[in-house]
Structure 1
Amino acid sequence: MTSEKRIWGTLDPFYEGGPVLGRTVANSRFLIELLRRDPFDEYHFFLPGKWAADPLRKHLEKTAPALLEQNRVRLLRRSDLAGMLGRVSYYCFHLSDCITCQPFVSRMRNRLSAELFPVTGPIHSLSYAHFTRSFLQHLWPGTTRRDAIVCTSTAGRRAVEGFFDQLRRGFGLGEDTHPAPRLARIPLGVNVTAYRPCERSGALPVKILAFGRISHHSKMDLVPLIRALHRLVRDGMDPASVELILAGWGDKDNQTLETLENLAANTGIRLTTVLRPNEPRKHKLFSEADILVSVADNPQETFGITLVEAGAFGLPVVASDYDGYKDIVVHGETGLLVPTIGPATTPEIDLEAPLTFDSHYHLRLAQATAVEIPALADALGRLIRDPELRRTMGAAARRRVETEFSWPGIIDAHLALWEELWREPADPEPLRDVPHPLAPEYGALFGHYTSRVLEDGTLLKAGRTGQAFYRNKDFPNLYEGIRYAIDLDVVRKLVFFARSAVDSATLIRKVSSIARHLNNTEIENHVLWALKQDILERTE
Structure 2
Amino acid sequence: MGRKVANAAFMRTLLRADPFDAYHFFPPGERMAQALAADLTREAPELMASGRVRIMPRLELPARLADTAYHCFHLSDCMLSQPHLARLRRLHAPRPMPVTGGIHSLSRADYMAAFLPHLWPGATGREAIVCTSRAGRAAVAAFFESLREAYGLDAVRFPGPRLETIGLGVDASAIAPPGPAARKAAREAAGIPTDAVAALVLGRLEHHSKMDLLPLLRAFQLAFAGRLARGSAHLILAGWGSEDDEILPVVRSLAANIGLGLTVRLRPSEADKAALLAAADYFLSPSDNVQETFGLTLLEAGAAGLPVLASDYDGYRDIVVHEETGLLVPTVGPAATTALDALARLLPDNQAHLLLAQQTAVDVALLAEGITRLCTDEALRCRLGVAARTRVEGRFTWEAVVAAHLEMWERLWAEPVKAADQLCLTPHPLHLPYARVFAAHPAQSGLSGLRLTRSRAGEAVYRGQEHPLFYAGVSHLVDAGRLRALLVLARAPLDGEELAQRLARALPGCDAEAASFIVLWALKHGYLERA
1:370 aligns with 2:361: yes
The residue identity in structure 1 corresponding to 2:492 is: S
Determine the structure 2 residue equivalent to 1:75.
55
Q: Could you tell me which of 147, 150, 159 is aligned with 1:179?
A: 159
**Structure 1 residue corresponding to 2:207, chosen from 216, 234, 237:** 216
Q: 1:238 aligns with which of 229, 235, 252?
A: 229
Alpha-carbon separation, structure 2, partners of 1:538 and 1:305: 65
1:491 and 1:526 in contact (8 A); partners too: yes
The residue identity in structure 2 corresponding to 1:251 is S
More displaced, 216-225 or 293-302? 216-225
Greater alpha carbon shift after TM alignment, 136-145 vs 452-461 = 452-461
1:312 maps to which residue? 303
* SS of residue paired to 1:47: coil
Question: SS at 1:434's partner residue?
Answer: coil
Quick one: which amino acid aligns to residue 21 of structure 2? D
Task: Show the 5 A alignment for 1:1-400.
Answer: 21-199=1-179, 204-400=195-391
Q: How many angstroms apart in 1 are the aligned matches of 2:223 and 2:407?
A: 48
Q: Corresponding residue for 1:443?
A: 435
Within 2, Cα distance between the matches of 1:483 and 1:251?
49
- Aligned match of 2:502: 510
**Which stretch has the larger CA shift, 241-250 or 131-140?**
241-250
Residue 57 of structure 1 and its aligned partner are, at CA, apart by: 1.3
Residues 458 and 527, structure 2, Cα contact 8 Å, conserved in 1: yes
CA distance in 2, matches of 1:506, 1:483: 23
> Residue type matched to 1:266 in 2?
N
Deviations 1:3-39 (A, max 9, x none): xxxxxxxxxxxxxxxxxx1111111111101101111
What amino acid does structure 1 have at the position aligned with 2:423?
L
Per-residue CA deviations over 1:177-222 (Å, capped at 9, x if unaligned) read 1111000000001111111122468962111100001111001111
Partner of 2:398: 407
Structure 1 counterpart of 2:472: 480
Q: Could you tell which deviates more after superposition, 202-211 or 271-280?
A: 202-211
Contact 1:465 1:533 in 2 (8 A): no
Corresponding residue SS for 1:350 = helix
Alpha-carbon distance in 1 for matches of 2:304, 2:421: 52
Question: What amino acid is aligned across from residue 104 of structure 2 in structure 1?
Answer: H
Does residue 523 of structure 1 match 2:503?
A: no
Whichever residue aligns with residue 269 of structure 2, its letter is N
In 1: Cα distance, 2:199 partner to 2:443 partner: 72
Partner residue in 1 for 2:187: none
- 1:418 maps to which of 390, 398, 409: 409
**Stretch of structure 1 that moved more, 111-120 or 266-275:** 266-275
Question: 2 CA distance for matches of 1:454 and 1:512?
Answer: 16
Partner of 2:425: 433
Query: Which residue of structure 1 lines up, in the alignment, with residue 526 of structure 2?
Result: 534
CA displacement, residues 325-370 of structure 1 (integer Å, 9 cap, x when unaligned): 1111100000000011111111111111111110111000000001
Name the residue aligned to 2:191.
none
Cα pair 1:476 1:533 within 8 Å, conserved: no
- Residue ranges of structure 1 left out of the alignment (5+ in a row): 1-20
CA displacement at 1:457 relative to structure 2? 4.9
Report the TM-score when normalising by structure 1: 0.93
Is the contact between residue 228 and residue 376 of structure 2 (CA under 8 Å) also seen in structure 1? Answer: no
Aligned alpha-carbon RMSD (Å): 1.5
Residues in 1 aligned to 2:461 and 2:120: alpha-carbon distance in whole angstroms: 46
**Distance across 1 between alignment mates of 2:63 and 2:439:** 25
1:484 Cα deviation from its structure 2 partner: 3.1
- TM-score calculated relative to the size of structure 2: 0.95
Q: Could you tell me how far 1:237 is from its partner in structure 2? A: 2.8
CA distance in 2, matches of 1:522, 1:258: 64
Q: Percent identity?
A: 46
Aligned to 2:473, what secondary structure does the other structure show?
A: helix
Residue type of the alignment partner of 1:85: L
Distance 1:270 1:109 in 2: 58
Task: Report the count of equivalent residues.
Answer: 519
Q: How far is 1:485 from its partner?
A: 3.0
Q: Which runs of 5+ in 2 are unaligned?
A: 185-193
The residue type equivalent to 1:218 in the other structure is S
Q: Give the Cα–Cα distance (whole angstroms) in 2 for the partners of residues 233 and 474 of structure 1.
A: 87
Q: Secondary structure at the match of 1:293?
A: strand
Aligned to 1:469: 461
- Say which SS state the counterpart of residue 361 (structure 1) adopts: helix
Q: Matches of 2:14 and 2:236 in 1, distance apart?
A: 34
Following TM superposition, by how much is the alpha carbon of 1:136 offset from its aligned partner in structure 2, in angstroms? 0.8
Distance 2:145 2:445 in 1: 42
